[in-house]
Amino acid sequence: MSFEPFVAAAIQMVSGSDVSENLAAAAGLIEEAAAQDARLIVLPENFAIMGRFETDKLQVREADGDGPIQRFLGETARRYGVWLVAGSVPLATSSPSLVHNSCLVYDDRGHRIARYDKIHLFGFEAGSERYCEADTIEPGSGPPIAIDSPFGRIGLSICYDVRFPELYRAFGPVDIILVPSAFTVITGRAHWDILLRARAIENQAYVIAPAQGGEHPGDRSTYGHSMIIDPWGDVLGVHPAGQAVVQARIDPEVIGQVRTRLPALENRRL
């Protein structure tokens, strides 16, 4: 853990069906975070589109490496000199009826340095509320992706992944875990906080979890509560609903202190 302390930001959005409007909203929030000295800025899942229908994202999918959403990300990271993580972008697959839900990481020069395709696809049904991501998303095939950065080692995941702790163990020790999300209100109220804190505690790492938080087209509601959690499981910042920037100081000394005081990672025997 040789990195210096820095400020990270989790961007909460209430994205709609118009990509250009969503990118404009994201740009304003990124500018706000950068003005407050954030060096690592993370956008939520589906930041560029939350359409009326799940198939809406098929109409704006992009080829890997090219398209208005990806150009926006690279140009914005370079403009503000920040590392920028797109919670997810719809990228083309070999099937016209499916996309990859891809987390993309850009460095402060605007170069893309990592791509993670969401592995676990959300399925939920309760009364009239039904979600089946497999209808429009092709799952990633792995392996889990962790990257080295000026901010330590960072593990990538998206939303529903948070329910599968084995994914995070497969990273090996990391300093920061990213969980950009669009949790439903029902599942968020029940499990969001406890799942995120558990991932921080068991991996003794910071968790940065930006989320969608509000009312979207198609009568869809998301839980919000974007948060940043430290390796002891303490919540350093949270915002319930609406657009917001949640910021916190990430300090490698805190990681070291927690792992020295309670060497759980060293004590594993499985």
Q: Is 185 exposed, middle or buried (0-12, 13-18, 19+ CB in 10 A)?
A: middle
- Judged against a pLDDT cut of 90, whether residue 258 lies above it is answered with yes
- Across 239-267, average pLDDT: 97
- Across 15-43, average pLDDT: 98
Residues 135, 144: contact at Cβ < 8 Å? no
| pLDDT tens digits for range 155-175 | 999 999 999 999 999 999 999
Among 106, 47, 116, 52, CA closest to 80: 106
Residue 128: predicted pLDDT: 65
121 is written with which tokens? 């696809």
Mark out the alpha helices in 57-96 (DSSP H runs).
68-80
- The pTM of the full predicted model, rounded to 2 decimals, is 0.96
Residue 261 lies in a domain: yes
CATH code for position 154: 3.60.110.10
Catalytically annotated residues = 45, 118, 159
Residue 130: predicted pLDDT: 72
Residue 30: predicted pLDDT: 98
- Judged against a pLDDT cut of 60, whether residue 1 lies above it is answered with no
What is the domain count for the chain?
Answer: 1
- Judged against a pLDDT cut of 70, whether residue 192 lies above it is answered with yes
Residue 110 lies in a domain: yes
Residue 266: predicted pLDDT: 93
Q: Where are the beta strands (DSSP E) in 107-219?
A: 112-117, 123-126, 129-132, 146-149, 152-156, 176-178, 206-209, 215-216
- Across 20-34, average pLDDT: 98
Residue 127 lies in a domain: yes
Among 195, 186, 189, CA closest to 167: 195
| pLDDT tens digits for range 121-130 | 988 777 666 7
- Judged against a pLDDT cut of 70, whether residue 177 lies above it is answered with yes
What is the extent of the structural domain holding 151? 6-267
CA distance 69 to 43: 13
Residue 169 lies in a domain: yes
Residue 1 lies in a domain: no
Residues facing 247 on adjacent strands? 9
| pLDDT tens digits for range 207-235 | 999 999 999 998 899 999 999 999 999 99
| pLDDT tens digits for range 87-116 | 999 999 999 999 999 999 999 999 999 999
Of the pLDDT bands very low, low, confident and very high (cuts 50, 70, 90), residue 143 is confident
- Judged against a pLDDT cut of 70, whether residue 49 lies above it is answered with yes
Of the pLDDT bands very low, low, confident and very high (cuts 50, 70, 90), residue 150 is very high
Residue 240 lies in a domain: yes
